[in-house]
Structure 1
Amino acid sequence: MYVVVPEVKTTPFRPPAVANTSKTVPFNKVLQFTVCLIGLYVVFAVVFYYYIVDNSPSTRIVYTYSPQQTSNTSGISEINAELGRRLSFPVWNIAKEKVAVIVPYRKRRDDLLIFLTRIIPFLNQQKKEYAIVITEQANSEAFNRAKLFNVAVKEIRQASPGDRLRDIQCFILHDVDKLPISSSALYECGQSVRQLATSFRSENKTLRLYDDFLGAVTAFRWEHIERINGASNIFYGWGGEDDDLAARLRLNKIPVDRASDNDGIFDEFDANHPRDMNEMRIELTTEESVARRWKTDGLNQTSYHLHDRINYDFFVWLLASV
């Protein structure tokens, strides 16, 4: 006996369709987003460099003050590179007063290298916070040491927060060819003006300077400079500017302390370098002449054109026409 089973037609199972809710992001929007990210990165990098890196005191910064770029024709960059090969960086005691060693300069590259090679280790040994400021005369006029000193002082007084020249109250006017012989010679300021050099040693001979000599290496506080209206601007050529400074101190009753016989001996290692003499130095340094003009010829009246400033590793270089 057979049972007939009716044929049942089946269909394959298909899961219910799920709606596709994802959307494809257009390519142009992805591109815009990427460009925005890159732009933000560039802005951040620029801000970081100029406000963090570039304001670091040890960073080499170039300031150009004239439309025409001034080339470094005096070999200053090479001197800095040579110092980097010879010397180590200073370790400062920031608890001590910061000192500026101001060196008026022009066309004495070999002397400058000798000076920096020896003065930097000397100052490092004293563990003072210091800034060496090389103020170079750019124009071809006769050399004006006193006015270059004024230029450096004005630049220091105008320094912005974060500048390595900021907050300096002690200023040492220093010849490029003078170096201390005694390790105990202190490069610092006192309540009075300090005359650091009292004797010159050259070719194994020591020359004792006259008792009221002022010059070569002299330390002033800012209040001293302000009170005497800085140095004179009219001494072009060698001689007279130091005697003018001494007269300004006398007229304003500012005493001068002098280093001891031992600490005051300085090596004058290029005593015979060529000099353009100031023919008017005698007439200009009389007490009457200085008394008549010190208020109208000095720091407050100093005009100059600053071409360049570079913060090198071991010193600050200013190039100015005076």
Structure 2
Amino acid sequence: MRRISKNLWPVTIHKERGNMHVNVVHVLVGLVIFQVVLNVFYLASLARPSRECEDGIVKSASAYNARRGKRTGNLEELEKSQELCLAYPHTLVGRITIDVNVTSTLEDIKHAMPAMTWGKWQPTDCKSSHRVAIIIPYRNRRHHLCLLLRYLHPFLQRQQLHYRIFLAEQAGVGTWNKGRVMNAGYLEAAKLFDFQCVIFHDVDLVPEDDRNSYGCHDTPLHMSSAPSQDKYKTLYKSLVGGVLKFPREHFLKVNGYSNEYWGWGGEDDDMALRLKASVFGFERVDLALGRYTSLTHENRDTNPRRMALLKNAKSKKNSDGVSAIPYHVEAVTDEKLYTHILISI
């Protein structure tokens, strides 16, 4: 039989018969003290969650939010993040073919989206991280507008964005000034919608791939890098025309577009110079994602002064732009698929 060392016991047991009653008392007292100590530690462990449980919560939250594009370290953040839409929703379909011969009218599109008003939409099953204003400078392109809206609304909704589309139309029959129309459109949109970023979108470019995110970006981003009219290539390095996205504050820092380019051409190249002179510059979407179908249109009157204006663009950018634009709003109306802003310039 294995002998247990006396030193393992809390109280030494003596074999003398005369002292047995004292030793028994010592043993009982020791056992009581030992049990009290155990109970104290047990109750303390109930009052504070174990680190193992805490780590389990942290790891579960981090793994969950990593899938949603957001990391967090506590349960409160986890509950908030459950409401956020995914950065890359399962509703995306990738590249599609644009049918330029479709015969849908604006009324057909309105009928397909009965709940829409003012061209605004947001997901109901999650909270979007992006509030985006899309400004379309416009004049006499109804067929193009119909085609663009037919594809653009589903495109934006698959990306689960909180967005609003503004159609900024130049009133009258005077010479077209796209820069002024976009500047005025921006100022009026800012009064109506608390957006984080703004996209200036030509009416004759339809996006082909919903992986080209219209969500907000931390720098200005040229999105239409590969239009079909240029064989899905970027025509020249400094090109920023077509579809261009800005963080709200960056558009103001470059003082928006120039107001001096009457007729077609020049205002986008002027913007490229403003962006190059800024501390943030601009980025461009990869050609594989920045594909757009270019809609055909009639030849436009070019601006004969555009090259001379471009030479002086850098020196005039602080005084010529969104901070000093003369315009008058003729009307703002709800066309369901968009907010229509009619502008005299």
The normalised TM-score by structure 2 is 0.64
Larger helix proportion of the pair: 2
Partner of 1:43: none
- Structure-2 residue corresponding to 1:318: 341
1:195 maps to which of 209, 217, 222: 222
Is contact 1:200-1:209 (8 Å) kept?
Answer: no
Q: Is contact 1:80-1:313 (8 Å) kept?
A: no
Q: Distance in 2 between matches of 1:189 and 1:247?
A: 22
Corresponding residue number in structure 2 for 1:214: 240
Structure 2 counterpart of 1:167: 194
| Cα distance, 1:80 vs structure 2 | 4.6
Q: In percent, how many aligned pairs have the same letter?
A: 30
Matching residue within 180, 204, 221 for 2:207: 180
Residue type of the partner of 2:244?
Answer: T
1:279 corresponds to 2:304? yes
Q: Matched residue of 2:289: which SS?
A: coil
Q: Which range moved further: 85-94 or 185-194?
A: 85-94
Structure 2: how far apart are the matches of 1:144 and 1:307? 16
Counterpart AA for 1:315 = Y
Q: Structure 1 residue aligned with 2:330, among 287, 307, 320? A: 307
Q: Which residue of 2 aligns with 1:249?
A: 275
* Cα shift at 1:222: 1.4
Q: CA offsets, 1:32-73, max 9 Å, x none?
A: xxxxxxxxxxxxxxxxxxxxxxxxxxxxxxxxxxxxxxxxxx
Looking at structure 2, the residues matched to 321 and 244 of structure 1 have their Cα atoms a distance apart, in angstroms, of: 22
Q: Is the 8 A contact 2:238 2:269 kept in 1?
A: no
Deviation of 1:79 (Å): 5.9
Per the alignment, residue 150 of structure 2 pairs with 117
Matched, 1:266 2:292: yes
Instruction: Say whether the 8 Å CA contact 1:150–1:299 is kept in structure 2.
Output: yes
SS of aligned partner of 2:169: strand
Q: Map 1:1-322 to 2 at 5 A.
A: 80-87=106-113, 89=116, 90-92=121-123, 93-157=126-190, 159=191, 165-202=192-229, 205-270=231-296, 272-286=297-311, 289-322=312-345
2:339 maps to amino acid: V
CA offsets 1:113-161 (integer angstroms, 9 cap, x no match): 111111111111111011110001002221111111111111122x2xx
Q: Compare relative contact order (CA 8 Å, sep 6+) and give the higher one, 1 or 2.
A: 1
The alignment yields a C-alpha RMSD, in angstroms, of 1.9
CA distance in 2, matches of 1:101, 1:180: 13
Deviation at 1:198, TM superposition (A): 0.8
| Corresponding pairs, count | 235
How far has the Cα of 1:107 moved from its partner? 0.7
Conservation of the 8 A alpha-carbon contact between 2:166 and 2:189: no
Structure 2 unmatched ranges of 5 or more: 1-103
Amino acid at match of 1:301: A
Equivalent pair of 1:144/1:235 in contact (CA under 8 Å): yes
Letter in 1 for 2:201: H
Q: Does the CA contact (< 8 Å) of 2:128 and 2:160 recur in 1? A: no
Deviation at 1:224, TM superposition (A): 0.8
Change in CA separation of 1:292 and 1:91 when aligned onto 2, cut-off 3 Å: closer
Partners of 2:178 and 2:185 in 1: CA distance: 11
- Unpaired runs of 5+ in structure 1? 1-77, 160-164
Q: Is the 8 A contact 1:231 1:299 kept in 2?
A: yes
State whether residues 134 and 316 of structure 1, in contact with CA within 8 Å, keep that contact through their aligned partners in structure 2.
yes
1:149-203 alpha-carbon deviations (Å, 9 max, x no partner): 111111122x2xxxxx321121101100001111211112311101101111149
